[in-house]
Structure 1
């Protein structure tokens, strides 16, 4: 499976290359996307595991492939992933629209950061220490 994914990374389409330019190196919202990434029995075009987001870039295909993609999307959705599909031409001609859809999905699915603990030296920590206890002291 991993060897197959490596082979697919070497044979990317123009649309996949363009999209990867914007997704790689945490360029979108600081989240990590992987390309040609194995998830279960599938290799997906792009995946952000932290957002549970999968992006597929499709070329021309026949009806049987569309049905297989639908089943695959359902299975990945049942595992908690959101699958976004774009046509090659859509990525190449309307890149900003595609990126906006991906950004919106990643933004809404990205886990919220934990609230940091108060820091010493900013007064916040000292105020917490001075809160009254049960005995009123």
Structure 2
């Protein structure tokens, strides 16, 4: 048995590192609730490259991406890009939870509770049969 490894563009690693240094206020606040396995002992990573994209937060064991959408996501063009990006990653098996920047700043406990509920009601995707079995 082994963990499913998702493809990623190695050229995005530096960009992801930069995004970790310049997180939005909402991302910083939510990260305080996600870091150090505070929700059900589950590990989350921040600004994680997957395929040709970078997601705000990612849980490998559940293949769950969490996105914090600020005002830059309000335009029709941005919403179309988000939908395309999400569809591409969902095709790889990644699930999504999206929250607003406002809620991340003002209601992080409610977001943490929503994430906890999601984890409790969805199966873990951690281990897949090894190839050839």
Q: Normalising TM by the smaller chain, what interval?
A: 0.7 to 0.9
Deviations 1:86-123 (A, max 9, x none): 110011122222111111112233539xxxxxxxxxxx
Q: Does 1:91 align with 2:110?
A: no
Is 2:8 the partner of 1:8? no
48-57 vs 70-79, greater mean Cα deviation: 70-79
Matched, 1:32 2:39: no
Structure with larger Rg: 1
Q: Select the residue among 93, 99, 102 that pairs with 2:115.
A: 102
> Is it true that 1:65 corresponds to 2:78 in the alignment?
yes
Count of residues in correspondence between the two structures = 113
CA positional deviation for 1:73: 0.9
| Shift of residue 78, structure 1, vs aligned partner | 1.4
Alignment check: 8 A CA contact 1:50 1:110 kept? no
Tell me, which stretches of 5 or more residues in structure 1 are unaligned? 113-137
TM-score normalised according to structure 2 size: 0.79
Match 1:82 to one of 95, 104, 108: 95
Normalised to the residue count of structure 1, the TM-score between the two structures is 0.77
Is the contact between residue 33 and residue 108 of structure 2 (CA under 8 Å) also seen in structure 1?
no
Q: Which runs of 4+ in 1 moved over 3 A?
A: none
| SS in structure 2 of the partner of residue 104 of structure 1 | helix
Q: Is the 8 A contact 1:52 1:109 kept in 2?
A: no
Aligned partners of 2:89, 2:104: CA distance in 1, in Å?
A: 22
CA contact (8 A) 1:52 1:80 kept: yes
